[in-house]
């Protein structure tokens, strides 16, 4: 959000800002289009060829320290070659990508930002470049209004099955346009395939990788801002992925996913059917692999030790920082510290002792196909945030970490009625207008960036279409009675599956831990009755699909006015708001909690903010309450909720009648 202080200049300034933004938008699109070939824009290509990164050290806020270092390494031939795979979990790759990020984040103006980006695009590894540019655009104040193109079009290899990529190459070779059907990886013999539409969904993969770019584990506040509640957000996004996955499994008559255990075999194997642009195929893993130590990464017994240190800290209610000081975690801020420790991020107060359970586990799991590096295989799907959720073991891993977080939450005192009440306010009605119904539809995206360019060989239209889950639109109707004067209220909507796969009803306490967050927003309640109508399209936990590169170019050409709503791409795709459900109607408990907005809100005027995005938010997170509030703590006595006037609980069904829109 831009704040223009001098009111008299608003009109003129706004105009200049808009046109500058269009140029920025185009620059970024050209930088990310066809990353394995030359920049397609003549002016930008000329900039790339003529730019001198160390020509004007005054244009960097660090006096040029970062750029001098990068240029030195480049001249010394130390940087990873082009046309080689890139993985963020590879220390060397990450360090190099971050060296470029360090340059871009310290640019004082766009000319220097885009000049450096264009210059290093030609010299550095393409994967490192793409990563550095994405995180720089997300975090640099220079690029606030730029919409990043969908990653599945920038690096389609990471999102598209090999079979389809091969067809794309053939189409280009034969100069015949093609539109190819993508299928999910396995066959019906594998029950896990019933939920492949979730883990392999390109929108889910995009949500996951974008979240990790918005809240990177390597983030250092010296880059310019603090990432508020990053550790807690880490817990919450992955908790939501885990509970969503279980709801998808129940929709398809599968048991909830089991947690990973270091001393037990990894039950489900995975054949990714995905190939690196450069570097061969992603390695596969057969069923029932027993964990092995991974050379140069970690021994399994070290993982067990790190886990027990973390659980010990939870049991004690405090952690020990790197100086030996005790930090209390037996309070609502504890989850944030635990998240930093478990991921771990640079915010962790003691990496030496608590390790990096999540990051190391991703590598260890990713390498189980070749733990000793005997076959010289590239990294596995779990070593990329773009591809990790494709492998069902991703959800086993996160179920395992989720249970550790739950141990902590369960140690906190349960909320009492007095904690949760919103005096004088009651919810008199909660209803869904329209049927909760999901269906599949085909989604098409371009593969033009998957294939190679060669002099004199023109592009032909090449795309793929994939089935994906969507839902019919619906509206929540919530009637609220306010016995007092006008005041602000926070509305929190959740749903959880009513029964497990054996038809046994979940208790309130089991159910609330499986709650899927559907929406959170603020309203101003007048005295008396307020009828709230909240549409499914408005949910603050979801985002709309980002337009294709082609459409982004067209939008920018037309002035860019329609682009604002795509600025933050962090969030579940809106079409994923509901779990699939099934033909019989999967039963869910739907709840709404209306709590004190003035007490909850960390920033003013939230009820007027239509841009509020649950996952992607720079600056202070607007809701002071813990993620998942008021269902985040143990509920030993569910009457606390059932007697709460500002809480309403109904049962609904989510249907899927096998409809597929082509
Ligand atoms: Cu993740």
Distance CA 349, CA 333 (A): 14
What separation in Å is there between the alpha carbon of 76 and the centre of ligand 1?
35
Q: Is 469 in contact with 580 (CB distance < 8 Å)?
A: yes
What separation in Å is there between the alpha carbon of 207 and the centre of ligand 1?
10
pLDDT value, residue 96: 98
Quickly count: other Cβ atoms within 10 Å of residue 75's Cβ. 10
Q: Is 552 in contact with 562 (CB distance < 8 Å)?
A: no
What separation in Å is there between the alpha carbon of 359 and the centre of ligand 1?
9
Distance CA 65, CA 60 (A): 8
What separation in Å is there between the alpha carbon of 286 and the centre of ligand 1?
23
What separation in Å is there between the alpha carbon of 238 and the centre of ligand 1?
6
Q: What is the CB-side half-sphere exposure of residue 538 using CA atoms within 13 A?
A: 13
What separation in Å is there between the alpha carbon of 568 and the centre of ligand 1?
18
What separation in Å is there between the alpha carbon of 236 and the centre of ligand 1?
10
What separation in Å is there between the alpha carbon of 615 and the centre of ligand 1?
13
What separation in Å is there between the alpha carbon of 343 and the centre of ligand 1?
9
Q: What is the 3-state secondary structure (H, E, C) of 167-197?
A: HHHHHHHHCCCEEEECCCCCCCCCHHHHHHH
What separation in Å is there between the alpha carbon of 174 and the centre of ligand 1?
39
Quickly count: other Cβ atoms within 10 Å of residue 510's Cβ. 14
What separation in Å is there between the alpha carbon of 299 and the centre of ligand 1?
22
Nearest to 375 by CA among 502, 255, 281: 281
For the chain, which ranges sit under pLDDT 70?
A: 1-20, 610-612, 615-617
Respond yes or no on whether the N-terminal peptide bond of residue 103 is cis (omega within 30° of 0): no
What separation in Å is there between the alpha carbon of 514 and the centre of ligand 1?
18
Q: Is 551 in contact with 185 (CB distance < 8 Å)?
A: no
Q: Is 338 in contact with 235 (CB distance < 8 Å)?
A: yes
Q: In terms of residues, how long is the chain? A: 662
Tokens 């989850």 correspond to 335
Q: Is 545 in contact with 569 (CB distance < 8 Å)?
A: no
What separation in Å is there between the alpha carbon of 212 and the centre of ligand 1?
7
pLDDT value, residue 9: 32
pLDDT value, residue 335: 98
Beta bridge partners of 596: 489
**Radius of gyration of the CA atoms of the chain, in A:** 25
pLDDT value, residue 3: 31
In degrees rounded to 5, what are phi and psi of residue 384? -140, 130
What separation in Å is there between the alpha carbon of 333 and the centre of ligand 1?
21
Beta-carbon contacts of residue 207 (< 8 Å; ≥ 6 apart): 543, 569, 570, 571, 572, 573
Distances (CA, A) of 138 to 104, 147, 182, 568: 11, 9, 30, 8
Distance CA 528, CA 317 (A): 44
Beta-carbon contacts of residue 287 (< 8 Å; ≥ 6 apart): 267, 268, 269
Q: Is 279 in contact with 84 (CB distance < 8 Å)?
A: yes
What separation in Å is there between the alpha carbon of 208 and the centre of ligand 1?
6
Q: Is 59 in contact with 112 (CB distance < 8 Å)?
A: yes
In degrees rounded to 5, what are phi and psi of residue 636? -70, -25
Q: Is 216 in contact with 276 (CB distance < 8 Å)?
A: no
What separation in Å is there between the alpha carbon of 447 and the centre of ligand 1?
26
What separation in Å is there between the alpha carbon of 467 and the centre of ligand 1?
23
Distance CA 322, CA 594 (A): 41
Q: Is 409 in contact with 633 (CB distance < 8 Å)?
A: yes
pLDDT value, residue 560: 87
What separation in Å is there between the alpha carbon of 55 and the centre of ligand 1?
39
What separation in Å is there between the alpha carbon of 504 and the centre of ligand 1?
31
pLDDT value, residue 20: 63
What separation in Å is there between the alpha carbon of 585 and the centre of ligand 1?
30
Q: Is 282 in contact with 275 (CB distance < 8 Å)?
A: yes
pLDDT value, residue 286: 92
What separation in Å is there between the alpha carbon of 613 and the centre of ligand 1?
18
What separation in Å is there between the alpha carbon of 347 and the centre of ligand 1?
16
b/e code 627-648 from CB counts within 10 Å (16+ = b)? bbbbbbbbbeeeebbeebbbbb
Assigned token pair, 315? 């049991």
Assigned token pair, 282? 């992603």
Tokens 């909240």 correspond to 534
What separation in Å is there between the alpha carbon of 394 and the centre of ligand 1?
9
Assigned token pair, 465? 């279409």
What separation in Å is there between the alpha carbon of 205 and the centre of ligand 1?
10
Q: Is 89 in contact with 383 (CB distance < 8 Å)?
A: yes
What separation in Å is there between the alpha carbon of 595 and the centre of ligand 1?
30
**pLDDT tens track for 465-491:** 999 999 999 999 999 999 999 999 999
Respond yes or no on whether the N-terminal peptide bond of residue 344 is cis (omega within 30° of 0): yes
Assigned token pair, 269? 């194997």
What separation in Å is there between the alpha carbon of 385 and the centre of ligand 1?
6
Q: Which helix (H) or strand (E) holds 45?
A: helix 42-50
What separation in Å is there between the alpha carbon of 217 and the centre of ligand 1?
10
What separation in Å is there between the alpha carbon of 148 and the centre of ligand 1?
20
- Number of helices (H), then strands (E), belonging to the chain: the values are 21, 14
Beta-carbon contacts of residue 533 (< 8 Å; ≥ 6 apart): 433, 475, 476, 477
What separation in Å is there between the alpha carbon of 237 and the centre of ligand 1?
8
What separation in Å is there between the alpha carbon of 606 and the centre of ligand 1?
28
pLDDT value, residue 554: 95
What separation in Å is there between the alpha carbon of 386 and the centre of ligand 1?
9
pLDDT value, residue 52: 98
- Dihedral angle over CA of 88, 94, 96, 98, nearest 10: 100
Distance CA 409, CA 325 (A): 22
What separation in Å is there between the alpha carbon of 210 and the centre of ligand 1?
10
> Hey, which bits of 434-461 come out as E strands?
437-446
What separation in Å is there between the alpha carbon of 562 and the centre of ligand 1?
30
What separation in Å is there between the alpha carbon of 235 and the centre of ligand 1?
9
pLDDT value, residue 498: 98
Say if residue 353 is exposed, middle or buried (CB neighbours under 10 Å; 0-12, 13-18, 19+): middle
**Residue ranges of domains in the chain, CATH in brackets:** 2-146 (1.20.1370.10), 188-411 (1.10.1280.10), 417-436+472-541+577-661 (2.60.40.1520)
Distance CA 360, CA 357 (A): 5
What separation in Å is there between the alpha carbon of 339 and the centre of ligand 1?
12
pLDDT value, residue 15: 38
């Amino acid at each position: 959000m831009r704040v223009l202080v001098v009111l008299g200049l608003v009109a003129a300034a706004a105009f200049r800002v808009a046109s500058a933004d269009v140029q920025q938008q185009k620059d970024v699109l050209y930088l990310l289009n066809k990353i394995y070939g030359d920049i397609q824009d003549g002016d930008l290509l000329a900039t790339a060829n003529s730019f001198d990164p160390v020509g004007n050290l005054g244009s960097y806020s660090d006096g040029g320290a970062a750029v001098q270092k990068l240029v030195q390494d480049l001249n010394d031939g130390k940087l990873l070659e082009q046309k080689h795979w890139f993985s963020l979990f590879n220390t060397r790759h990450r360090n190099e990508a971050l060296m470029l990020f360090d340059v871009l984040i310290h640019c004082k103006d766009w000319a220097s930002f885009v000049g450096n980006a264009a210059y290093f695009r030609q010299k550095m590894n393409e994967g490192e470049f793409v990563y550095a540019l994405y995180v720089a655009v997300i975090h640099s104040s220079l690029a606030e209004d730029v919409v990043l193109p969908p990653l599945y079009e920038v690096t389609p290899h990471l999102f598209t099955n090999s079979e389809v990529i091969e067809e794309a190459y053939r189409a280009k070779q034969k100069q015949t346009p093609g539109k190819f059907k993508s299928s999910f990886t396995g066959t019906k013999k594998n029950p896990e395939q019933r939920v492949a539409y979730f883990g392999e969904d390109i929108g889910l993969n995009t949500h996951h990788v974008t979240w990790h770019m918005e809240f990177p584990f390597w983030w250092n506040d010296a880059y310019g801002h603090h990432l508020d509640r990053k550790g807690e957000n880490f817990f919450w996004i992955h908790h939501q992925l885990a509970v969503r996955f279980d709801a998808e499994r129940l929709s398809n008559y599968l048991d909830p996913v089991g947690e990973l255990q270091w001393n037990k075999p990894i039950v489900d194997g995975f054949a990714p059917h995905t190939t690196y642009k450069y570097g061969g195929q992603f390695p596969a893993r057969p069923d029932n692999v027993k964990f092995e130590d991974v050379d140069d990464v970690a021994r399994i017994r070290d993982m067990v030790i790190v886990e027990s240190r973390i659980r010990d800290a939870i049991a004690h209610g405090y952690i020990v920082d790197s100086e030996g000081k005790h930090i209390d975690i037996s309070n609502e801020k504890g989850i944030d510290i635990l998240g930093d420790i478990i991921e771990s991020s640079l915010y962790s107060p003691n990496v030496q002792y608590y390790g990096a359970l999540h990051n190391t586990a991703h590598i260890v799991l990713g390498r189980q196909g070749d733990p000793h590096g005997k076959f010289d295989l590239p990294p596995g799907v779990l070593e990329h945030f773009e591809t990790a959720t494709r492998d069902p073991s991703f959800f086993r891993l996160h179920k395992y970490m989720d249970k550790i977080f739950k141990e902590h939450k369960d140690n906190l005192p349960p909320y009492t009625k007095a904690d949760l009440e919103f005096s004088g306010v009651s919810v008199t009605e909660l209803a869904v207008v329209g049927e909760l119904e999901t269906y599949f539809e085909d989604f098409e995206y371009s593969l033009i960036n998957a294939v190679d360019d060669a002099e004199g060989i023109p592009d032909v239209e090449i795309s793929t279409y994939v089935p994906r889950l969507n839902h019919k639109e619906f509206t929540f109707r919530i009637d609220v009675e306010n016995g007092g004067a006008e005041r602000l209220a926070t509305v929190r909507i959740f749903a959880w599956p009513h029964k497990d796969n054996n038809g046994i009803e979940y208790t309130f306490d089991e159910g609330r831990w499986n709650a899927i967050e559907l929406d959170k927003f603020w309203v101003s309640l007048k005295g008396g009755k307020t009828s709230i109508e909240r549409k499914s399209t408005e949910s603050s936990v979801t985002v709309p699909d980002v337009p294709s590169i082609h459409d982004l170019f067209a939008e920018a050409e037309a002035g860019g006015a329609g682009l604002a709503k795509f600025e933050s791409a962090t969030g579940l795709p809106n079409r994923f708001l509901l779990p699939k459900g099934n033909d019989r109607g999967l039963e869910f408990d739907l709840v709404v909690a209306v709590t004190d907005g003035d007490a909850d809100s960390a920033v003013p005027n939230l009820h007027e903010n239509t841009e509020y995005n649950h996952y992607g938010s720079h600056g202070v997170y607007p809701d002071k309450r813990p993620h998942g509030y008021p269902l985040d703590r143990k509920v030993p006595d569910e009457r606390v909720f059932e007697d709460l006037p500002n809480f309403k609980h109904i049962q609904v069904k989510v249907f899927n009648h096998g409809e597929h829109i082509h």
